[in-house]
Amino acid sequence: MNHIDLTAKRKQRKLLFGVGLSWLFDAMDVGIISFIAAALAVEWSLGAEQIGLLAAINSIGMAVGAAVAGSMADKYGRRSVLLWTLLIFSVSSGLSALAFSFVMLCVLRFTAGFGLGGELPVASTLVSESVPPKDRGRAVVLLESFWACGWIIAALIAYFIIPHYGWRTAFAIGAVPALYALYLRRAIQDSPRFTEQRSLKLSFRERVVAAWSPKYRRSTITLWILWFTVVFSYYGMFLWLPTVVMLKGFGLVKSFQYVLIMTLAQLPGYFTAAYLIERFGRKFVLVTYLLLTAVSAICFGNADTVGVLIASGICLSFFNLGAWGAMYAYTPELYPTAVRSTGVGLAASFGRIGGVVGPYLVGMLVARKIPITSIFTVFCIAIVIGAAAVLFLGKETKGTDPDRETTDSEMSVQ
């Protein structure tokens, strides 16, 4: 029995590390574009609205990719869709290095976003289904911690590569995950739950109807509000972080240095969330970390000294990314296996609309000389709305199993 347990844990660690590295590459790509945007603003003389549009285009691709890949993963399996989306985003990221115009770069960023947005919900679903309920939340939050590692690598690339070798080299590094996909193809398998229930085939329409059926409607509404507000605020704040630091009077290299320091705080944010989520539950971590993110956003927007700027930026990274980890752990636990990836994908896809609105809104407001303080107040309010939705509408999922609560008749369309 001990030998079996040990073997199972080794498989879980291998899966977590294998999928986690793909997650790391995703974060590296998203992080790099935020730093490249600051460099392009100088090299291509881009206005604030164009920078916002570039970030928005990437998020539009992620919204489409999340919906499409989430549905396909329930039909064709988590593993195959994970590999294809990884290839799509990494090849597109590498090709972005060859972009010779703003329009061409936007097209490639849409394609990269499609692969990126498709991979994230499928990866979290795969890990959530492959570990026991008692370890499920912690495992998914630890998976999310690879996102922080990717952002740290992106910040290092920005600090050491972009000033000396240019933004094209940074994009070229983004093609590396294409090679990793070849390894991942042999290293991971589909989740046992999906394999066991593959016979339960539902059409896309049936899966969508199931997600909005009376049994899951409240959970779906909660998730859509949560995802929209979190993604809206995260991409609005973090894709603009290097540029906002520059707007506060610091140079490009100094901006990259400060953002690197702030980014390092993401890792302890994830690790504390991973510990607390199994001790106090998903709702506690989500609500607490979101409210503290809102406070940090107000402090960052009002920062007028280097000390306050860095301290509030560290808190913003710590609590916001901890909340992200909890959100990814929470979402798959609200749906049974037959519709899980579709439900997660639709919530993520709706959230990505916030990722479109957030960065573009910042671009518009900055172009109209709206103070940074007012802009970050908007994000504070959005985050509080997300926390309230979880507190008053959400249900606790710690230790639950949606498959045991769902019968075949409940999954069928009336």
Find where tokens 């912690």 sit: 138
Q: Is residue 78 part of a domain?
A: yes
How confident is the model at residue 384, as a pLDDT?
97
Q: Is residue 40 part of a domain?
A: yes
Domain housing 233: 2-183+205-401
Residues 358-390 have pLDDT tens digits of 888 888 888 888 888 899 999 999 999 999 999
Structural domain count, the chain: 1
Residues 174-187 have pLDDT tens digits of 888 877 877 777 77
**Predicted TM-score of the model (pTM):** 0.81
Q: What is the mean pLDDT of the chain?
A: 85
Q: Is residue 314 part of a domain?
A: yes
Taking 90 as the threshold, does the pLDDT of residue 283 lie above it?
yes
Q: Is residue 55 part of a domain?
A: yes
Q: Where are the alpha helices (DSSP H) in 248-400?
A: 252-264, 266-279, 282-302, 306-330, 337-367, 372-393
Q: Is residue 134 part of a domain?
A: yes
Report which of 285, 291, 294, 320 is spatially closest to residue 396, judged by C-alpha positions.
285
Give the amino acid at 228.
F
Residues 129-178 have pLDDT tens digits of 888 888 888 888 888 888 888 888 888 888 788 888 888 998 888 888 87
* Other Cβ atoms within 10 Å of 172 Cβ, number: 18
Q: Could you give the percent of the chain with pLDDT greater than 70?
A: 93
Taking 80 as the threshold, does the pLDDT of residue 291 lie above it?
yes
Residue 210 has, within 13 A of its CA and on its CB side, a CA count of: 27
Pick the residue with more confidence: 261 or 97?
Answer: 97
DSSP 331: G
Contact (CB, 8 A) for 358 and 214: no
**Residues 322-347 as b or e (16 or more Cβ within 10 Å = b):** bbbbbbbbbbbbbbbbbbbbbbbbbb
How confident is the model at residue 414, as a pLDDT?
38
Report which of 359, 316, 368 is spatially closest to residue 109, judged by C-alpha positions.
359
Residues 107-133 have pLDDT tens digits of 999 999 999 888 888 888 888 888 888
Residues 19-62 have pLDDT tens digits of 888 888 888 888 888 778 878 888 888 887 787 788 778 888 98
Helix or strand holding residue 98 (H, E): none
- CATH code: domain of residue 73: 1.20.1250.20
Residues 184-222 have pLDDT tens digits of 777 778 877 777 766 566 778 888 899 899 999 999 999
**Helix axis angle, 2-43 to 133-160, nearest 10°:** 30
Q: Is residue 245 part of a domain?
A: yes
How confident is the model at residue 379, as a pLDDT?
95
Q: Is residue 189 part of a domain?
A: no
Q: Is residue 246 part of a domain?
A: yes
How confident is the model at residue 391, as a pLDDT?
96
